[in-house]
Chains A and B, each alone.
Chain A
Amino acid sequence: MIRNITRKIYICLIFIFLYAPIVTLMVLSFNASKTRSKWGGFTLKWYKSLFENEAIIQALINTLAIAFLSALIATVIGTIACISMQSMKKRNRTILMGVVNIPMLNAEIVTGISLMLLFISLGIKFGFLTVLLAHITFNIPYVILSVMPRMKQLNPSTYEAALDLGASHLKAFFKVVFPDIFPGILSGFVMAFTMSLDDFIITHFTKGPGIHTLSTKIYTEVKKGIKPEMYALSTIIFVSVLALLILVNYTPKKKEK
């Protein structure tokens, strides 16, 4: 009994710790007074000025474009890598998986500066392209790590059976292998997309002066001082993430039943 109560209290305390900052931001986004300690009445003006701020809207477009493209390209490269690793010798595969793990385990700041040094020496102009290349690089491991377990569960005989029955390699892959690993590919894509959305450090080192993603834009704004527009932005992001997670968590369950 006492144990149950302590558990509930503990959960509540952590809950408050996690959500108090977010709730504060949400409340302040409706605060008419610019000082945070006073409540100056309800307003939507910060939302209005947020949507009128072209730099932020452009940053949002960049963020979404980079997240989508990098996740897509990483998914293609990562999936192909998983297929090829299946037929490799164990030793080669272990070495390759070690390489896959480097960007995941290494500090982001080191990945960021290493790519920065590469782009400088290759003479690539810093901008959209360099950020995209960097994001693809750190997204590939997430794709591989979510496709690989599916790949290992595959029964290789089904693929061979398809070949015996006259299917071409490509057809056998798309009709037999692909449907089985598709959930892994999809979750890899989603993970890569969200990792790209949230990244700041690697973007910070690989972006040019003219381009911003949402994260780097927020960083410059925060360094400048208080911007109630940022609170409005937080609220919008939190609500959309919440809606998205609810959607993802409740749709597949209906199908299962």
Chain B
Amino acid sequence: MNKKLLSAPFLFWSALFIIIPLCMVFYYGFTDKDGAFTLSNIMAIATPEHSKAFFEAVKLSLLSTVICFFLAYPLAMILANLKGKRSSLIALIFILPMWMNFLLRTLAWQTLLEKTGVINSILGFLGLPALNIINTPGAIVLGMVYNFLPFMVLPIYNVLCKIDVNVLNAARDLGANEAQAFLKVTLPLSVPGIISGITMVFVPALTTFVISTILGGSKILLIGNVIEQEFTQTGNWHLGSGLSIVLMMFIIFNMVISAITDKEGDTNAL
């Protein structure tokens, strides 16, 4: 049996649905309406409204990535140190919310944060001042952290589980205290998981338009919102493609870094 023939369906599929569509984004991004070559769609990122949306997205997604990291690392350590019967149950509890529909999870925060929402009702009942966080960048960051936190926890948890306890014991035998053992052994060994977690949080956060629509009202435009509008409302595919190419540059940069640090490809979270 010819094994080369077996690869045909996948080769055909990936050429038609992965490679060609990506080429089309580049084609549209580098041409104008008449099909002539232009860089104006790429340079459009520099116009005030687009660069504002772009830097806002970079700012908010970096902030949520950092918050996710600091929330996730201790959690992953605690989960990785769990032993016995309950460990799988507790891990399950932390994965469970991730299986809820992404939009419903975001809707939940809208319900909690709104001016007449649940949190403000509780605060009002306690006689405390109301929290006006909905439709602000803070609400968007909160939504990003909530939605993407598991993407940070899982890869870090996976690498931490693989660390040999004997290595840590050796460090302690050689006189390291807890902090030193952590900084010199655990942390460096978990770098691949951290990088993979950062990629998995940063990329969806940078490109989201759903969280900013639901939690930011229509006041805050992120680069994802701009691209989405170009495709579904304005219909300027050339401009939308050009902006997407700029976004992809960021993602490729991220991919290169994670490819360098994660050669074995074993820190994939799922």
Bound complex: CA A100 to CA B218 (Å) = 36
Contact A115 B21, beta carbon cutoff 8 Å: yes
Which residues of B lie under 8 Å from residue A36 when comparing CB positions?
Answer: 111, 114, 116-118, 121
Q: A102-B22, A121-B24 are in contact. Are A37 and B121 (CB under 8 A)?
A: yes
Using Cβ atoms and an 8 Å threshold, which residues of chain B touch A81?
A: 6-7, 9-10
Specify which of A18, A77, A88, A110 is in contact with B97 (CB 8 Å cutoff): A18
A109 touches B14 (CB 8 A): no
Q: Known contacts A80-B9, A110-B207, A110-B247; is A237 also within 8 Å of B117 by CB?
A: no
Q: For B209, list chain A residues within 8 Å (CB).
A: 109, 201
Asked if A222 and B24 sit within 8 Å, CB to CB, the answer is no
A26 and chain B: residue at smallest CB distance = B108
Say whether, besides A36-B116, A36-B117, A219-B210, A78 and B10 are in contact (CB < 8 Å): yes
Stretch at the interface among B30-38, B86-94, B159-167, B179-187: B86-94
Check if B108 sits within 8 Å of A198, measured CB to CB. no
Which residues of the other chain, A, contact B7 by a CB distance below 8 angstroms? Answer: 80-81, 84-85, 88, 96
Residues in chain B near residue A78, CB distance under 8 A: 10
Closest chain-B Cβ to A31's Cβ sits at a distance in Å of 11
Number of interface residues of B (CB under 8 A): 80
Who on chain B is nearest to A98 by CB? Answer: B259
A110 and B248 within 8 A (CB): yes
B97 near A22 (CB under 8 angstroms)?
yes
Stretch at the interface among A7-15, A48-56, A64-72, A175-183: A7-15
Chain A residue with minimal CB distance to B121? Answer: A37
- Which residues of B are found within 8 Å of A15, using beta-carbon distances? 93-94
Residues in B whose Cβ lies below 8 Å from that of A100: 14
- Residue pairs across A and B with CB atoms within 8 Å: the count is 214
Compute how far the CA of A231 lies from the CA of B100 in the bound complex, rounded to whole angstroms: 12
How far is A26 from B194 in the complex, measured between Cα atoms in Å? 34
Q: Is the CB of A234 within 8 A of B100?
A: yes
Known: A80-B9, A100-B14, A109-B224. A198 touches B21 (CB 8 A): no
In the assembled complex, the CB of A199 is this many whole angstroms from the nearest CB of chain B, namely 9
Q: Are A140 and B10 in contact (CB under 8 A)?
A: yes
Among B18, B88, B270, point to the contact of A249 (Cβ < 8 A): B88
The listed residue (A118, A222, A242) touching B20 by CB distance below 8 A is: A118
Measured CB to CB, the nearest residue on chain A to B8 is A84
Provide the bound-state CA to CA distance between A101 and B14, in Å: 11
User: Is A186 positioned at the interface, with any CB of B under 8 Å from its CB?
Assistant: no
- CB contacts (< 8 Å) of A121 on chain B: these are 24
At the interface with chain A, which of B41-49, B131-139, B236-244? B236-244
B residues adjacent to A (C-beta < 8 A) = 1, 3-4, 6-7, 9-11, 13-14, 16-22, 24-25, 28, 71, 74-75, 78, 88, 90, 92-97, 99-112, 114, 116-118, 120-121, 146, 149, 199, 203-204, 206-207, 209-210, 213-214, 224, 227-228, 231-232, 237, 240-241, 244, 247-248, 251, 254-255, 258, 268, 270
Give 18 CB contacts A-B under 8 Å.
A18-B149, A22-B105, A22-B108, A24-B118, A28-B118, A36-B116, A37-B120, A86-B3, A99-B18, A107-B206, A110-B207, A111-B21, A113-B244, A114-B25, A200-B210, A215-B102, A222-B103, A237-B104
Beyond A24-B112, A84-B7, 5 additional contacts (C-beta under 8 Å) are: A14-B71, A37-B116, A108-B207, A109-B244, A133-B17
